[in-house]
Chain A
Amino acid sequence: GAGVSQTPSNKVTEKGKYVELRCDPISGHTALYWYRQSLGQGPEFLIYFQGTGAADDSGLPNDRFFAVRPEGSVSTLKIQRTERGDSAVYLCASSLLGHDTEAFFGQGTRLTVV
């Protein structure tokens, strides 16, 4: 596709449930990032993939959060035992490798935990 695609665009889930958020990056982009944005805040870094491997997962808040990118393209962010505090917009971005490169963002998934 022409841009970064994220699905679903909205997800409502009950507290304690498991959710998966999908990101389809721009073809050929080796770098993929997940960010989380709470209301009134800027995006906060969660995890960075370089190819298939997670090069930096220092932003994941706890072990309920996990992300994979098995073939170096599509990535899935997985959240176990969701809590109301996990409610936010989850943004995915992709870019070419290297410094000074533009990151292209998807439209995000708005996750609401009730």
Chain B
Amino acid sequence: SQQGEEDPQALSIQEGENATMNCSYKTSINNLQWYRQNSGRGLVHLILIRSNEREKHSGRLRVTLDTSKKSSSLLITASRAADTASYFCATEYSGGSNYKLTFGKGTLLTVNP
């Protein structure tokens, strides 16, 4: 079963605009990760935020985590056409030694040139 839910399911913006995607999850986590996927194949790791962190930056990416609301957001600033892809949040459940990830259904981002 999928733990996370991304919102919106699809997002279309113009190049140069910012894109914000949200993720909600259900159980206690060790960390939350964001991945990017082009053309339905391999996933590329973007950023990991630990449960005791509230905000993290990496280049044009900004991730926030609110464990009280069990939600996270991914902000991509100054978007480019090359940012067009599906974006997934994934959580690592905190209840044991298993490090498996539970993914949401993803947000399809389209950046129009």
Query: In the complex, which residues of chain B have a beta carbon less than 8 angstroms from the beta carbon of A39?
Result: 40
- Give the distance in Å from the alpha carbon of A8 to the alpha carbon of B44 in the complex: 20
- Confirm or deny: B27 has a beta carbon within 8 angstroms of a beta carbon on chain A: no
B42 touching A103, Cβ below 8 Å: no
Distance in angstroms from B95 CB to nearest chain A CB is 12
Query: In the complex, which residues of chain A have a beta carbon less than 8 angstroms from the beta carbon of B2?
Result: 41-42, 44
- Confirm or deny: B12 has a beta carbon within 8 angstroms of a beta carbon on chain A: no
Interface-located stretch among A11-19, A72-80, A93-101: A93-101
- Give the distance in Å from the alpha carbon of A106 to the alpha carbon of B4 in the complex: 22
Question: How many A-B pairs with Cβ below 8 Å?
Answer: 72
Tally of B interface residues using CB under 8 Å: 28
Query: In the complex, which residues of chain B have a beta carbon less than 8 angstroms from the beta carbon of A108?
Result: 41-42
- Give the distance in Å from the alpha carbon of A67 to the alpha carbon of B35 in the complex: 25
Q: A42-B106, A44-B2 are in contact. Are A99 and B99 (CB under 8 A)?
A: yes
B42 touching A48, Cβ below 8 Å: no
- Give the distance in Å from the alpha carbon of A55 to the alpha carbon of B100 in the complex: 10
A102 touching B45, Cβ below 8 Å: yes
- Give the distance in Å from the alpha carbon of A1 to the alpha carbon of B88 in the complex: 26
- Confirm or deny: B43 has a beta carbon within 8 angstroms of a beta carbon on chain A: yes
- Give the distance in Å from the alpha carbon of A10 to the alpha carbon of B101 in the complex: 24
Distance in angstroms from A77 CB to nearest chain B CB is 15
Having A31-B99, A43-B103, A48-B100, one finds 6 other A-B pairs with CB under 8 Å, namely A42-B88, A42-B105, A44-B1, A48-B98, A89-B40, A110-B41
Interface residues of A (CB under 8 A from B): 31, 33, 35, 37, 39-45, 48, 55-56, 59, 89, 91, 93, 95, 97-108, 110
